[in-house]
Structure 1
Amino acid sequence: NCSNVSSRFEKIGRIGQGTYGVVYQARDKQTRDIVALKRCLAHHESSDGFPTTTLREISLLKEIKGSGGHPHIVSLKDVTVSSSRSGVFLVFEYAEHDLATLVDNHFKQHQSSPFRESEVKKLMLQLLDAIAFLHSRCIIHRDLKCSNLLYNHRGELKVADFGLARRIGRDNDINDLSKPCNLTPKVVSLWYRPPELLFGLERYDQGIDNFGAGCIMGELLLGRPVMDGRNEMEQIQKMFDFLGPPNEDEWPGLKRMPVFRSGEMELPKQWQSRNTGKHILDVFRRWKRTAGIKLLNGLLKYNPNHRWKAADALDADWFTEMPCPTAQSLMPTFPTKHNKTP
């Protein structure tokens, strides 16, 4: 049931624009609730005139809501259209921030993260719980990054933007997630893209989300992306520097993967990047918590078959050692700076 957007909502301001749509802050005229209106852009439309990514996003979010929802997945409240019926709007619960903007703005001023370690623990518990929930329902997000993680004034993280999300597996059997399926490798934003995609594989599973969670964890701790290549080849090199190069013992068949077989990239024969200070142990040299490094390494393993699953990561020792995760009511709040011009 699509209601009319102008008769029901009053636009307050434009929040931002992503690949698949423009987002506005608005007020529901009936309930007076503040909501987020996501207008879907037409250039991603399918042949019948309705955006394919929007159909997928609506379908998956309605399914999640129908199963009771999840406290750390953004809630789709409604679908509405413009008066001319030329535009489709998704109505979401409102969150004041996204983590990418918070991290980036703070780092520019202070060269550090806006979150303390105890607060990062709380954020990661929320994120991993949401990912585990999705994977238990055979859904992979495929675009986890800080800009797709919303943060509200109650200290709650919300996974958003399901335009690239996909269902995998048969008959809703979670065991089928162990059988990767053929999907497009051009998903996941570059800085969060896992090795199986960078190396050109077309078969992947929920492990791509778990790798993204590891990148997000590192970014929240450092206050900047851990691997920020300008193109795929540079991203692979930054991955080698940060994690050390992979090998056939860890990942059989590595040399036959498209990027190496084609000659685009060579596996380093001798690794010397520890001298550059770019390795994970050097980047976090002041961070003496071996349990934290263990979790980060587990989520960022090259071989997706060895990579930690979100549900297992929730049991990591890092979450139980000092400092303990910050209580929800004590999570920080930040000033809101949205453009108020609709």
Structure 2
Amino acid sequence: MSKGTSSVCIGWPPVQPMPAAADRLYRRPSQLRTPRFMLNKGKMPSKQLGFNRVLDGLKKRQLLLDFHFDKAAEVYEPIRNIGVGAFGIVCEAVETTSNNKVAIKKISHASATPTLARRTLREIRVLRYIKHENIVSLRDIFRTPGALGIDVYLVMDLMEGSLHQVIYNENQPLEDELIAYFLYQLLRGLKYIHSAGIAHRDLKPSNLLVNSDCRLRIADFGMAKLASKGHFDEAEEHCFYMTQHVSTLPYRAPELLFVMPEHGTAVDMWAVGCILAEMLLKRELFPGRNVSGQIKILLNSLGKPSDKLLNQIRCEKTRRLIEHFHDACRREWEHVLFVPDRVVGILLLEI
């Protein structure tokens, strides 16, 4: 997508590609001069230290054994595990025919439940047709029989780390130039998928993969969905509203959190603002740990919704919780996001 056009069809009605000029958000990556940064592989953030301990010793070796797939054993040779999520394991591997390193995401028992099957299908359908330098590329797909169903393997580009690692690396200062470059690449990738009517719905630093040359790619499209109401797959959705139980809590937009009808690509832009603030602050902007706590944090920052918006909230429990904070008042962004000498970031969040 060097010219900013989109031809994503993924089995849904075609959408109008965005004009070529729309991709010129700032400057092309080749025109930007950015410093190299080092991913601190020895000292991970606190949220990932426990994750790594789980992979130590026998458990780590056992997980690696799961990648000794039969049919593809002659093509891919697993090296080491590089991540574990709620829906799969990711390992670094070598493509024996070319000696190129790749990342292989294993989704165990992909057909065990309808929810997991839909999530797997979403990611495959989106990645199969999306081609953009700021989005991970799907190189290959294969499957093997598992104990509880089919195991699906997605072969993708290997990246050195995630934006989460960069943000919480104490030895890596995030200068404005670097933040601007990461933000530019994120918006560039989103511009592409949004032009096809697709919302990612799970943007967060750990789903933004980076290399030491500052290149960024958006990953994990398991929650991706067409944002247009008229294009919903009725067999996949029981109603014409996208579920609110998507997106990690600190990055969840108010319309998702308040269980409001119809949402679209705007939820991704909310997440972008949260990610920008996290790069500036080196902490989460809205660090809620449960739904009620997150609602309280948002109301204390943004103020209480208007009566018109309250009437659109379908969940009675959520409405009562919001009304409980009747004295919540909107705060100015310079007070919510106090970062000296970083007025540009505050202005972007205000927009």
User: Do both proteins adopt the same fold according to a TM-score greater than 0.5, normalized to the shorter chain?
Assistant: yes
Is the 8 Å Cα contact of residues 190 and 232 (structure 1) preserved in structure 2?
Answer: yes
Q: Give yes or no for the alignment of 1:234 onto 2:287.
A: no
Q: What CA deviation, in whole Å up to 9, does each residue of 1:221-271 have, x standing for no partner?
A: 111111111101111111223x331442xx833355235774133264434
Of residues 334, 338, 346 in structure 2, which corresponds to 1:281? 334
Task: Quote the residue 1:254 is aligned against.
Answer: 310
Task: Quote the residue 2:213 is aligned against.
Answer: 154
Percent of pairs with identical residues: 31
Is the 8 Å Cα contact of residues 109 and 150 (structure 2) preserved in structure 1?
Answer: no
Task: Quote the residue 2:31 is aligned against.
Answer: none
Deviation of the 1:159 alpha carbon: 0.3
Deviation of the 1:98 alpha carbon: 1.0
Task: Give unmatched runs, 5+ long, in structure 1.
Answer: 173-179, 299-342
Task: Quote the residue 1:324 is aligned against.
Answer: none
Structure 1 stretches of at least 4 aligned residues deviating more than 6 Å after TM superposition: none
- Equivalent residue letter for 1:292: G
Task: Give unmatched runs, 5+ long, in structure 2.
Answer: 1-68, 232-238
- Equivalent residue letter for 1:36: A
Q: What CA deviation, in whole Å up to 9, does each residue of 1:160-201 have, x standing for no partner?
A: 0001101233788xxxxxxx9511110011010010111111
Is the 8 Å Cα contact of residues 39 and 90 (structure 1) preserved in structure 2?
Answer: yes
Higher mean C-alpha displacement, 196-205 vs 30-39: 196-205
Of residues 93, 99, 102 in structure 2, which corresponds to 1:32? 99
Deviation of the 1:54 alpha carbon: 1.4
Which protein has greater RCO, CA pairs closer than 8 Å, 6+ apart? Answer: 1
Task: Give the root-mean-square deviation of aligned CA atoms.
Answer: 2.9
Q: Secondary structure at the match of 1:253?
A: helix
Is the 8 Å Cα contact of residues 74 and 159 (structure 1) preserved in structure 2?
Answer: yes
- Equivalent residue letter for 1:252: K
- How many residues of Structure 1 are paired with residues of Structure 2 in the alignment? 273
Equivalent positions of 1:192-341 (< 5 A) are: 192-241=251-300, 243-248=301-306, 252-257=308-313, 258=315, 262-266=319-323, 268-271=325-328, 280-298=333-351
Instruction: Tell me, in whole angstroms, the C-alpha distance in 2 between the residues paired with 1:43 and 1:57.
Output: 12
TM-score by length of 2: 0.70
Task: Quote the residue 1:311 is aligned against.
Answer: none
TM-score by length of 1: 0.72
Instruction: Tell me, in whole angstroms, the C-alpha distance in 2 between the residues paired with 1:11 and 1:261.
Output: 46
Task: Quote the residue 2:74 is aligned against.
Answer: 7
Instruction: Tell me, in whole angstroms, the C-alpha distance in 2 between the residues paired with 1:37 and 1:252.
Output: 47
Q: Secondary structure at the match of 1:200?
A: coil
Is the 8 Å Cα contact of residues 276 and 345 (structure 2) preserved in structure 1?
Answer: no
Of residues 131, 134, 139 in structure 2, which corresponds to 1:72? 134
